[in-house]
Amino acid sequence: MICAVDDCASNLRGSRQRSFKFPGDAELRRQWTRFCRRADGINYQAERVCLDHFEMEDFEEDHTPLKLRPEAVPSLHAHQYIDLEVVEEHLELPEAKEATLAKEQPEEMDSDYDFEELPADGCLQVQVVDADSYLKVLEKENTELKRDNFKMNLSIQTSERDIERMQRQLDNANERYRQLVGNLERIFSVSQIERIQNDRRIVWPRTDLIEAHSLYATSRSAYSMLLGRNYPLPSVRTMQYWEARERNPTTSSSRQNGQHQDCDSIDATSTDHNYT
């Protein structure tokens, strides 16, 4: 969209700057219109004023995207600043300056004074600079730096809000995870939860084997169905191995001698690689 300001540099560059609609207030719109300096009239519905014509103070703080204050009026014109080439002309090297002045000076007239006798240390080189033009250039650079700083601060604030939002999402996810684990602990044992989380072979404690065997002895088909649905239970091969071990008199005698132990775990993987 083309900027409505007559001398806007963005129209020449063809850049796409952020632009703002003309205000609805009649008096404020007249001020914007006078600033644009357009003799051909302005289409208030289609034309805008770009970001380059506003001061940093014209925008509301802590607001993304940029939002103008209700009373904001554009105040920066491109022609208010002097091109850097003007300053470079006044800051050109002394050698080039002397060559330019030598061309403009008339022919030397005879004089009894020998200028070559004047020592070099006694010469004072004076460089003339248009202070007003140079000051305007500095003011332009200062304004641009303020605008860049303003944009950087907005970007930082946006990043900080994004970080805070992601941290809240992470905290909520951790809280939901803790609630999920708490609900699982009401239903499953520690070993079963470990199996659900990691889906790897584990060493089943005796308490889990006893409970699983009760279900296995009640209905082997129901037990197989639960395993088929990935229910965290010892495999059928593990149950068969555990039954055989329980029927073994030697194993029973060993268990009677070790009644002080709270649990007897079985690592079925050491017997058959299909045991879980």
Mean of pLDDT values over 212-233: 92
Angstrom distance (rounded) from CA 228 to CA 103: 101
Helix or strand run (H / E) with residue 50: strand 49-50
Token pair, residue 70, equals 């209700």
Closest-CA residue to 188 (of 236, 234, 232): 232
Q: With 90 as the cut, is the pLDDT of residue 102 above it?
A: no
pTM score > 0.75 for this model?
Answer: no
Q: With 50 as the cut, is the pLDDT of residue 39 above it?
A: yes
| pLDDT tens-digit readout, 80-90 | 543 434 434 44
Residue 246 contacts residue 252 (beta carbons within 8 Å)? yes
3-class DSSP state of 121: helix
| Helix, strand, coil fractions of the chain, as percent rounded to 5 | 60, 5, 40
